[in-house]
Amino acid sequence: MNRVVLIAGILITVALVLVLSAGLGKDPQHIESPLIGKQAPDFALQAVGTHETIDLAKFRGKPLVVNFWATWCRPCYEEHPVLVSNAQMMQGQVQFLGVVFQDKEEKIQGFLNERGSAYPTLVDDAGKTAIAYGVGGVPETFFLNKDGKVVAKFEGPIDPDSLQQNIRKAMTQ
Amino acid sequence: MTWIFVLLLVTGVKVPDAEQIVGQPQGPVVSGPMLDQQTNEIAGLLRCPVCQGMSVADSPSEMAVNMKHQVRELIARGYTREQILRYFERSYGQFVLLKPKFQGVNTLVWILPILALGVGIFAIFSMMTKGGDGQPVDQPSVDEDPYLAEVRKLTGKQS
Amino acid sequence: MTSSLGRLLILLSLLVSTTGAVLGYAAGWKKSADGLKWARRFAFTFSLLMIGATLVMEYALISHDFSVGYVAQVGSRDVPLWVTLVSLWSSLEGSILFWGFILAAYIAGATWLTRNEHIEYMPYAIGTWLFSGSFFSFLIAGPASPFQTVANPPMDGPGPNPLLQNHVLMAIHPPFLYLGYVGMTIPFGFATAALLRGRLGQSFLRPLRNSLLLPWIFLTIAIMLGGWWAYEVLGWGGYWAWDPVENASLLPWLTATAALHSALVMERRGSLKGWTVTLVQASFLLTILGTFMTRSGVFNSVHSFTQSSIGPTILVFLAVILIGSVTLLALRIDSLESDSRFEGPLSREGFFLINNLLFVLFTFTVLIGTVFPLVVEALKGKQMSVGRPYFDSMVVPIGAVLLFILGVGPALPWGRASKEQAKRALLPPLIGATIVAGIGLALGVRNPWTIITLAFGGYAAQVTLGQMWLPVVQRIRRGDSAGHAIIDSQLVRGRRRFGSYLIHAGAVIVIVAIAVSSTMRTQQEVRLNRGESATVGGYTFTFTGTDVKQEPHRTSTLAHFDVTKNGRQVAQLAPRMNQYAAMRDPLGTPDVHTTLKGDIYLSIMNIEGDAVGVNVILTPMVGWIWWAVLLMGAGGIVALIPGSRAVALQARSESPVIQGDEVGAN
């Protein structure tokens, strides 16, 4: 019995199998956000339609939901009504903002005309805001507390329960 | 492109800036072919978050192109490599760095191969100094082809 | 009906392979000749069944039988015939069936070729092969079944992924890859047999070595084809990204190469048996690991098949054979070794040992880099990446040392070399080193690693050519005519030796070409309106206009460029932007002009009306890589061609000697 081979072999086997099985069930496309717990990057972007410049800092004092989306993203169509209805429901308590990047203004306007809008939709400049927030795909939704700190990030189309859950986090943390 | 800057300034639009995150640029302002070269270099160290593993320098996706422009702009303004990498790391985490930072548990990925090299060198030394005492090295095994064994005997040569 | 037939054949193959495996191991244990006979029958039956099932699937694909699950998934009436044939391996379930098909062919071939020999080993070998066969049959029968019956068959299907229809290489690269990958099962069976028997005789070396060499040739070419495909089709201008699946194909190649070298020492000196067997086991294990990496969805890769449930199943199989191999090795490795001693580091054996170490280190490093992100995520929940910059930093020094060894090793004699011998062998190639490095410096190379690589490469080239033609030179000295000397000693008698040196020659060119093409590359993004020109690296690129080509599954916009140098036209390039009906984003195809000196490569970044943004990439010597790897493949084929025993014996007894010294032929 060659001890060296046995021990080396067992080590390699155990390590490999453990590591690989830990990887199973995880989605390799998902990126954890390092921004959670940190101050949200400040920005001031133009709103679609009105071309009014809206500054993030203006919304301090209230929890904020920032939703990154685009008209070419299928799941965004599904989550839009959820966001709109919640925004109307929580008007005055929570502020919603939409940020669109890599898209054309006419398309965005068309989308909103068709599907309604209950909060400002801003156009990102060259995707810089998305980059600063570490957006990897759309849709992604960030939840900020009243001091402007990021408390949660949700990837993919958001459902009513998760939305409420995260808003509660933003209100209490 | 300057007219866009002017327009943005006039309308008060501002995007999150590197300044908020990594402070003032700490290197010299760069332009020309040097700028292209450095952009490619640093973009090559950043991972495109929406592609499968490609670097920002290589990826054609819009996200990567945007990131590359941002890198270019930051270099032009004088930000150093460390600052730029730190800026992207802040938003995306260490995921976006293609070269693992030598910090914390990540040091292992750099050290383990070196350790393996050490183990290997040690193994070779111990094998080489094990040494027998000059006995014939190639002993034909029992189930060797009898024809071969015969020929070997006749020619008087090993192997 | 077709689905049922397919399912039946697969179930039968599962039954036959499982029974055959048990039978094989039992026959080996009991040393039963009858048992062996039956095991061989089971092996052939399994092969027939599996090949039959594959033919059924191809028939279903060609006849557009959408009642078969896999055909409904990847079939289409709109695609050309070659795409239909090739869609067998375009998606996960079909690719596992393809694996089974190749495995069946290999098992049938290996069982046939060993029909009268090695009766003490063969039952174990067949048992092992059929064990693998039964696992893959199980996958095809269960978790990854392509033969599901579709309740309401559609009229047409979506066709395979558009990315895979872009280039004819899609028809060649996967088969070569599978022929390389799956082929590692055969030497694994032989090695396992040797371990179970507790001995590895000299006569068993030939099947072990040849069954390793054949898949090695395929794998070498497959890896090159993968790189070439990435370069010609993907548009980022590079050929290797250290993507997890690319690494998966490289890992078994590294251990198989080490095993081939190790087997050489085993043959000449009887030592390194344990090393050789371990490396062969590792090669097979790494192919299973590779299959896991590609199909489990655990790794973020451009090559990944979509996530599926077969990941855990493959992991279990991997764990089982890992544990089995480790146990077997631990128990039997010592009984394999014969007495041997090492003549010290300044000998060919010593260098073979160092060679083994380096290849293992190379494998270990690539493996660590590939799985490390998983480790960190499991331990700390954080995500990090290990990308090209890491691998390049680690692999470049290892590659340089390997090139060094490729030069020095074959120059040294077997056995302890005296100082005189060493000097005579090791000093002259310094001329080659200086010449090649000098040429590089003259042509503008400044990167220190590249210069080192050029120097080592020149050294290795001189040694390789010298050793390659040594037998011919000696014959001519003894009075033979040149023609006769060449044909007889290189092609008739010394094929293994000649082939091996051809492989080395190819390898030297590949390593040097990789070094030069990576470090001397020029890349620039250029925006042009119609009629405008830009100059990059001495070449002038003029954008002359666009035109649009309509094909059934895609619309391509071509951007035409005239490339001139000093007023003379060098090339006309037309990179493309393809819009596939099935995909949102367009996919670019570059256009490349290849010359001996280097490539001129254009890839479109965006087209808007009459303005185009292109990536201009000038890469010296990159074309050399593909051809040099083909040279390696050719060398492998030459080495593999069997010769008659009498010829082989005579060749050995006439080993060329260097002026009175006892230097080995191989």
Residue numbers of the domain that contains B74: 2-96
Mean pLDDT within B40-68? 87
Cα dist from C534 to B8, C137, C236, C539, C545, whole Å: 31, 58, 20, 8, 15
Query: Does some domain include residue B118?
Result: yes
User: In the 8-state DSSP scheme, what is residue C306?
Assistant: P
Q: How far apart are CA C492 and CA C228, in angstroms?
A: 34
Same-domain status, B85 and B120: no
Residue in B36, B101, B135 nearest the CB of C524:
B36
More confident of the two residues C371 and C554: C371
Residue C84 identity: T
Which two tokens mark A89? 């429901």
pLDDT at C218 over 90: yes
Average pLDDT, chain C: 88
Tell me the per-residue pLDDT of C506-540, one tens digit each, with 9 for 90 and over: 999 999 999 999 999 988 888 999 989 999 988 99
Q: Does B79 touch chain A (CB under 8 A)?
A: no
User: Parallel, antiparallel, or unpaired: how do β-strands A64-69 and C591-594 relate?
Assistant: unpaired
Same-domain status, B87 and B104: no
* Selected residue of B1, B66, B95 to mutate for chain A interface (largest A Cβ count, 10 A): B66
pLDDT at B101 over 70: yes
Q: How far apart are CA C71 and CA C158, in angstroms?
A: 10
CATH code, domain carrying B62 = 1.10.8.640
ipTM: 0.84
Chain B positions touching C648 (Cβ under 8 A) are: none
Rg of chain A over CA atoms, in angstroms? Answer: 21
pLDDT at B9 over 70: no
Q: CB within 8 A of C260, min separation 6: which ones?
A: C209, C212, C213, C216
More confident of the two residues C564 and A104: C564
The HSE-up count of residue C559 (CA atoms within 13 Å, CB side) is: 32
Q: How far apart are CA C341 and CA C271, in angstroms?
A: 8
CB contact under 8 A, B138 and C605: no
User: What three-state secondary structure class fits C459?
Assistant: helix
Question: Which domain-ending residue is among B73, B96, B119?
Answer: B96
Q: What is the pTM of this model?
A: 0.89
| Closest CA relative to residue A110, chosen from A97, A121, A124, A126 | A121
Query: To which H or E segment does residue C268 belong?
Result: helix C244-269
pLDDT at C641 over 80: yes
Rg of chain B over CA atoms, in angstroms? Answer: 30
Q: CB within 8 A of B3, min separation 6: which ones?
A: none
pLDDT band at C346 (very low <50, low <70, confident <90, very high): confident
Give the distance from residue A83's alpha carbon to the nearest chain C alpha carbon, in angstroms.
Answer: 26
A102 conformational bin, left if phi > 0, alpha if psi -120 to 50, beta if neither:
left
Residue in B52, B96, B113 nearest the CB of C301:
B52
pLDDT at C653 over 50: no
CB contact under 8 A, C270 and B139: yes
Same-domain status, B38 and B25: yes
Mean pLDDT within C416-430? 87
Same-domain status, B119 and B53: no
User: In the 8-state DSSP scheme, what is residue A59?
Assistant: G
User: In the 8-state DSSP scheme, what is residue A98?
Assistant: E
Rg of chain C over CA atoms, in angstroms? Answer: 27
Query: C572 - beta bridge partners?
Result: C562
pLDDT band at B153 (very low <50, low <70, confident <90, very high): low
pLDDT band at C208 (very low <50, low <70, confident <90, very high): very high
CB contact under 8 A, B105 and C203: no
Task: Report all structural domains of chain A as residue ranges with CATH numbers, in order of start.
Answer: 35-172 (3.40.30.10)
Q: How far apart are CA C268 and CA B136, in angstroms?
A: 12
| Closest CA relative to residue A40, chosen from B21, B71, B11 | B21
Same-domain status, B8 and B82: yes
Digits of tens for pLDDT over chain A (173 positions)? 888 889 989 999 999 999 888 888 666 666 667 888 888 888 888 888 888 888 888 888 889 999 999 888 888 888 898 899 888 888 888 899 999 988 888 888 888 888 888 888 998 877 888 888 888 888 899 999 888 889 888 888 888 888 888 888 888 87
Cis peptide before B113 (omega within 30 of 0): no
Mean pLDDT within C121-141? 95
Same-domain status, B35 and B86: yes
Split into its structural domains, chain B has a count of 2
Could you tell me which chain B residue has the CA closest to the CA of A125?
B15
Q: A159 and A165 in contact (C-beta within 8 Å)?
A: no
Q: What is the pLDDT of residue B6?
A: 61
Query: Does some domain include residue B152?
Result: no
Residue A142 identity: F
Query: Does some domain include residue B65?
Result: yes
Query: Does some domain include residue B120?
Result: yes
CB contact under 8 A, B138 and C588: no
Mean pLDDT within C348-369? 93
Q: CB within 8 A of B88, min separation 6: which ones?
A: A131, B46, B67, B96, B97
Residue A70 CB burial class (10 angstroms; 0-12, 13-18, ≥19): buried
Residue C154 identity: P
Q: How far apart are CA A129 and CA B15, in angstroms?
A: 6
pLDDT at C297 over 80: no
Q: Does C8 touch chain A (CB under 8 A)?
A: no
Same-domain status, B14 and B78: yes
Residue A41 identity: P
pLDDT band at C370 (very low <50, low <70, confident <90, very high): very high
- Interhelix angle C310-336/C273-295, rounded to 10 degrees, is 180
Same-domain status, B92 and B29: yes
pLDDT at C294 over 60: yes
Give the distance from residue A113's alpha carbon to the nearest chain B alpha carbon, in angstroms.
Answer: 24
Cα dist from A135 to A100, B48, B63, B70, whole Å: 11, 11, 9, 15
CB contact under 8 A, C386 and B100: yes
CB contact under 8 A, B13 and A127: no
Q: Does C379 touch chain B (CB under 8 A)?
A: yes
Same-domain status, B118 and B84: no
pLDDT band at B30 (very low <50, low <70, confident <90, very high): confident
Give the distance from residue C198's alpha carbon to the nearest chain B alpha carbon, in angstroms.
Answer: 12
Mean pLDDT within C613-619? 92
Which two tokens mark C582? 């099935």
Query: Does some domain include residue B139?
Result: no
Residue in B93, B96, B120 nearest the CB of C357:
B120
Query: Does some domain include residue B73?
Result: yes
Q: How far apart are CA A90 and CA A170, in angstroms?
A: 13
Q: What is the pLDDT of residue C651?
A: 45
The rounded percent of chain C whose pLDDT value lies above 70 is 93
Same-domain status, B27 and B81: yes
Residue C158 identity: P
Q: What is the pLDDT of residue C424?
A: 87
Q: What is the dihedral of CA C23, C27, C28, C29, to 10 degrees?
A: 100
Tell me the per-residue pLDDT of B124-148, one tens digit each, with 9 for 90 and over: 888 777 653 333 334 443 444 555 5
Contacting subunits of B (3+ beta carbon pairs below 8 A)? A, C
Q: How far apart are CA C595 and CA C443, in angstroms?
A: 16
- Interhelix angle C273-295/C185-197, rounded to 10 degrees, is 140
Interface of C with B in 507-526 (CB under 8 A): 523-525
More confident of the two residues B129 and C183: C183
Same-domain status, B107 and B55: no
Q: C605 and C614 in contact (C-beta within 8 Å)?
A: yes
Q: How far apart are CA C553 and CA C503, in angstroms?
A: 42
Interface of C with B in 426-455 (CB under 8 A): none
Residue C91's φ and ψ, nearest 5 degrees, are -130, 165
Tell me the per-residue pLDDT of C59-113, one tens digit each, with 9 for 90 and over: 999 998 888 989 988 888 878 888 888 889 888 889 999 999 999 999 999 999 9
Query: Does some domain include residue B19?
Result: yes
Query: To which H or E segment does residue C391 belong?
Result: helix C388-408
Same-domain status, B55 and B111: no
Average pLDDT, chain B: 77
Query: To which H or E segment does residue A151 belong?
Result: strand A150-155
